[in-house]
Structure 1
Amino acid sequence: MAPITVGDSIPRWDSAWFDENDQLQQVSIHSIAAGKKVVLIGVPGAFTPTCSMQHVPGFIASAEELKSKGVDEILVISVNDPS
């Protein structure tokens, strides 16, 4: 599969997460991103020291700047998330 570049449509897939009741939930990335400008960020591991303390905070710090440029959603996924 070729890398995703700016302006491309993303492949269809579902993502999963645990909610506040520790129940596994699923959502279609397309349902979140439909009709929106989305920044999709991939990190190597959820809640790892490098991702949690170095990667993700930089995107949080830039969130308002990204939104001022028309970004509607900022999504962070990790490869160790269930899919």
Structure 2
Amino acid sequence: MAPIKVGDSILDGTLAHFDEKDEMQQVSVHSLPAGKKVVIFGVRGAFTPTCSLKHVPRLIEKSEELKSKGVEEFLLISVNDPFVMNAWKKSYPETKKNVKFLADGSATYTLGLGMSLT
């Protein structure tokens, strides 16, 4: 895995998510943080025990603290299809609108970053 450090430019790519109207959107990774301070958070998979019970709840728990430091949005990326990511998002009603559950269904983006686990 190639480390990504604060300040690094990251690869652009297209990911999918369901918006507030429950409509699927295709979005450019570079367009998501435009003009905002964001945290990009990658997890192994939706509904996996560790991600569901530890990673996402911890992100939600720390979100207010991070927002007080200027973070406006959290971008959660996983190699699941957008429908699975949408169902996973709905299992965390406390995420409200500040967490986007982004789907990299074909793992193209994850592979491009060199972040796949095999």
TM range (shorter): 0.7 to 0.9
Counterpart of 2:43 in structure 1 is 43
Paired with 2:32 and 2:64, the residues of 1 have a C-alpha distance of 19
Paired with 1:13 and 1:58, the residues of 2 have a C-alpha distance of 26
Cα deviation, residue 54, structure 1: 1.0
* TM, length-normalised to structure 2: 0.59
Counterpart of 2:105 in structure 1 is 82
* TM, length-normalised to structure 1: 0.80
Report the RMSD for the aligned CA atoms in angstroms.
2.1
Check whether the contact 1:42–1:79 (CA below 8 A) recurs between aligned residues: no
Partner SS for 1:39: strand
Gaps of 5+ in 2: 81-103, 107-118
Cα deviation, residue 79, structure 1: 2.9
What do residues 14-49 of structure 1 show as CA deviations (whole Å, max 9, x unaligned)? 11235646xx53111211111211111110011212
Q: Which runs of 4+ in 1 moved over 4 A?
A: none
Cα deviation, residue 9, structure 1: 2.1
Query: Which amino acid is the alignment partner of residue 60 of structure 2?
Result: I
Which of 53-62 and 31-40 deviates more? 31-40
Task: Tell me the matched-pair count.
Answer: 81
Partner SS for 1:64: helix
Please give the residue correspondences for 1:21-32 in structure 2 after superposition, counting only pairs within 5 Å.
25-32=25-32
Gaps of 5+ in 1: none
Check whether the contact 1:17–1:82 (CA below 8 A) recurs between aligned residues: no
Identical pairs, percent = 67
